[in-house]
Amino acid sequence: MHLGVCYYPEHWPEERWAEDARLMRETGLTRVRIGEFAWSRIEPEPGRFDWGWLDRAVEVLHEAGLGIIMGTPTATPPKWLVDRMPDMVAIDREGRPRGFGSRRHYCFSHMGYREEAQRITRVVAERYGEHPGVVSWQTDNEYGCHDTVQSFSPAARDAFRRWLANRYGSIEALNEAWGNVFWSMEYRSFDEIDLPNLTVTEANPAHWLAFRRFSSDQVIAFNRGQVEILREHSPGRDITHNAMGFYTGYDHHDLGAEVDVLGWDSYPLGFLEMFCFSEEEKRAYARQGHPDIAAFHHDLYRGCAKDGRWSVLEQQPGPVNWARYNPAPLPGMVKLWTLEAFAHGAEMVSYFRWRQFPKAQEQMHAGLLRPDGNPAPALAEARAVADCIGEIESDAPTPKQAALVFSYESEWITQIQPQGEGRSGLWAAFSAYSAMRELGLDIDILPPGADLAGYRLVVVPCLPIVPDALARSLENIDGQIIIGPRTGSRTTDFAIPENLPPGPLEGMAGGTITLSESLRSGVTIEGDGWSGGGWFDHFEGSADAEMTAKDGRVVLWRKDKARLLAVWPEGSVLCEAVRRAARDAGLPHEPLPEGRRRRRRGNNRFEFDYLTGQASWSTVES
Ligand code: GAL
């Protein structure tokens, strides 16, 4: 287990570097991430490289005993490059080019830029690939940040046409799969197909889904171009990338298959403020973050990573600059967040950033040091973690309890066709996760193709496309199952399945959904001690009614080990359904006190109190 920090030597006078490195080590940090935005300093003009400063920075950090995570600087193509190749910029959904003057202004489909990205990756990898101080590489920075995965450029359009031809083989097959006979949308060749933006009203949802899949594939291909170069020039080093919070613009299961360690950037206070938490939650946890935000992503990205290896590449250390309001963490929270990451299996937690930079866009973003170079409050908390992580014994396996099945396609489908405002697959997954975690369960968030053997509870909150393999593995498990709304409701090409939802799960559910309604917020279905709403599925079949509302509507159906939830997975109705399934699975099923959470890693049981910021762990019998 390592602690690290994101450092920008190019922001500070060279005379200070050795002192920074010494202080990092004294704090107990062993990793330092550098370089990911430094293109204009590495190559100030086309083909003219200035390696001197970076060579010296690498030496200083290495000599201090820090392992370096080197970033490829491709998230920030310099001005001269954009001027030479103006059509490399992404085009937004309204058809406007994205300007220079911040970052991430490139189009993933522009082959000229992709070559440039590979060229700069190659020269950096050739220079530092075998350096003993470089322990790993980060490709680019936060693919998709600032809404940058989709580009509506001519380059994207041409690549999309090729992608479609490859996937469908013939234009007739595409027309048939998408149902283009509707509204006379039929095409005669792939070259007639445009991107799905700028249509008069919504484009065909199958067209959007194909574009979402294509855009995701472009990210993976862009990343792969760098990975191949890094593997060649820097053998034996891990490759990583930093994913984001509540972000689904590309398929992270696909990215996880390409890198050695999947990283993510954890900003619990910023995420609480910026995403759809209630006002009450925002007030109660303003300085802690909702107790499930970080944990959800830890478990999600562990499940996306090919060998389950993951890290926190950026950890919030104080106020950020980008949320609507930016409070400081409660004392103790930086330590709690860090320990929570290790409790879920992180290999490293790296704080963003070392020292607050007094200029440019992030001048209000805290670091471990203040702008004047003196310690900010988080430094002492990082040191406190460093002092204790050696005691966490981490080798024993963690027993399997509960799994939650999530796919990126599910979220794309619910974004493309929400049917009711805010009815999102991602948020259904988060709510289900939270309901499970409130019971103290250990949860793995897994893709539909994962092996589910050994789990005693499996929740599929909202998964429109159910692959046959998932149907089979659910049949085979010896545990309780909850299936939520929209699950099995679409084919791969965005059609309603012939046998109606839940499609391949019809046998397990004991019937079908004959009609789905979405309900506006405030329209509730009341039961005995619970209430629900948001959605209502009309079910026909042989399952038993397990939870019935006061007005007679059935919200939870049950057949053997499977329960089908007919309302949106949220609120007290969800908690009650999860509690019943956990009870029948022989798992803990009483809610923990408000703000308390628990997580087992190997033989350690961690306890977290998100109201007070206290974290502790003890050893349990295996
Ligand atoms: C991340 C990004 C960092 C920095 C940070 C600020 O999204 O990767 O470069 O901008 O946010 O919180």
Atom of ligand 1 nearest to the CA of 142: 8
C-alpha to C-alpha distances, 587 to 332, 469, 581, 619, nearest whole angstrom: 31, 26, 9, 20
What is the rounded CA–CA span in Å between residue 524 and residue 243? Answer: 36
Q: How far is the CA of 316 from the centre of ligand 1 (A)?
A: 9
What is the rounded CA–CA span in Å between residue 71 and residue 37? Answer: 8
Q: 267 in ligand 1 pocket by Cβ < 6 Å?
A: yes
Distance of CA 415 to the CA centre of its chain: 16
Task: Please give the pLDDT value at position 622.
Answer: 63
Given a cut of 70, whether residue 299 has pLDDT beyond it is yes
Q: How far is the CA of 169 from the centre of ligand 1 (A)?
A: 41
CA dihedral of residues 357, 363, 364, 368 (deg, nearest 10): -10
Predicted confidence (pLDDT) per residue in 565-592, tens digit? 999 999 999 999 999 999 999 999 999 9
What is the rounded CA–CA span in Å between residue 521 and residue 533? Answer: 8
Q: 141 in ligand 1 pocket by Cβ < 6 Å?
A: yes
Strand pairing category for 2-6 and 535-541: unpaired
Q: Which of 36, 314, 381, 506 is catalytic?
A: 314
Task: Please give the pLDDT value at position 394.
Answer: 75
Q: 145 in ligand 1 pocket by Cβ < 6 Å?
A: yes
Q: How far is the CA of 314 from the centre of ligand 1 (A)?
A: 8
Given a cut of 70, whether residue 392 has pLDDT beyond it is yes
The mean pLDDT of 65-82, rounded to a whole number, is: 98
Q: How far is the CA of 381 from the centre of ligand 1 (A)?
A: 21
Task: Please give the pLDDT value at position 57.
Answer: 98
Torsion sign, CA atoms 408, 413, 415, 420 = negative
Task: Please give the pLDDT value at position 81.
Answer: 98
Q: What distance, in Å, lies between the first and last C-alpha atoms of the chain? A: 21
Choice from 74, 322, 352, 364 to test ligand 1 binding pocket (greatest atom count within 8 A of CB):
352
Atom of ligand 1 nearest to the CA of 316: 12
**Residue 378: pLDDT band with limits 50, 70, 90:** very high
Query: Which domains does the chain carry?
Result: 154-207 (no CATH), 402-589 (3.40.50.880)
Stated as kind and residue range, the H or E segment containing 6 is strand 2-6
Q: What is the pTM of this model?
A: 0.98
Q: Which of 36, 116, 142, 258 is catalytic?
A: 142
Given a cut of 70, whether residue 312 has pLDDT beyond it is yes
- The C-alpha R_g of the chain, in whole angstroms, comes to 25
Q: 316 in ligand 1 pocket by Cβ < 6 Å?
A: no
Identify the three-state secondary structure at position 70: strand
Examine the residue annotation and report whether 116 is marked as an active-site residue of this protein: no
Given a cut of 90, whether residue 48 has pLDDT beyond it is yes
Predicted confidence (pLDDT) per residue in 398-455, tens digit? 999 999 999 999 999 999 999 999 999 999 999 999 999 999 999 999 999 999 999 9
Examine the residue annotation and report whether 570 is marked as an active-site residue of this protein: no
Atom of ligand 1 nearest to the CA of 145: 7
Q: Which amino acid is at 252?
A: H
Given a cut of 90, whether residue 621 has pLDDT beyond it is no
What is the rounded CA–CA span in Å between residue 468 and residue 454? Answer: 19
Token pair for 586? 């022989």
Predicted confidence (pLDDT) per residue in 188-239, tens digit? 999 999 999 999 999 999 999 999 999 999 999 999 999 999 999 999 999 9
Predicted confidence (pLDDT) per residue in 429-443, tens digit? 999 999 999 999 999
Choice from 314, 337, 350, 354 to test ligand 1 binding pocket (greatest atom count within 8 A of CB):
314
Task: Please give the pLDDT value at position 483.
Answer: 98
Task: Please give the pLDDT value at position 257.
Answer: 98
Identify the three-state secondary structure at position 272: helix
In the predicted model, what is the mean pLDDT of the chain? Answer: 97
